[in-house]
Amino acid sequence: MSSGVDTFKVPAVWLGDMTVRYTPGAWDPRLYNLELGLTVNNLTNKSYIASCTSAPYCSIGIERRIIGSISWYF
């Protein structure tokens, strides 16, 4: 029996992210409070549909994103 509502499937997707942090304090004690970071989202730069609320309203996933950070801890 049909519910009268159109349905559709959004394909599954595997994405890879990576975060690396480095604390140079081991090499120079003056930099003990410093932390450098690099985060990469969507390593393979795969195109994908992130979500849909209905057939014409779908969100495309982000492309590869690279974010660098510098932190100083007190």
Mean pLDDT by 10 residues, the chain (74 residues): 65 95 93 97 95 84 97 95
pLDDT at 34: 97
CA–centroid distance for 13 within its chain: 13
Furthest C-alpha separation in the chain: 72
Q: Tell me the two tokens of residue 23.
A: 């604390």
pTM, two decimal places: 0.74
Q: Name the β-bridge partners of 35.
A: 71
pLDDT at 68: 99
pLDDT at 36: 98
CA–centroid distance for 38 within its chain: 12
For residue 37, count other CB atoms closer than 10 A to its CB.
Answer: 14
Q: Is 9 helix (H, G, I), strand (E, B) or coil?
A: coil
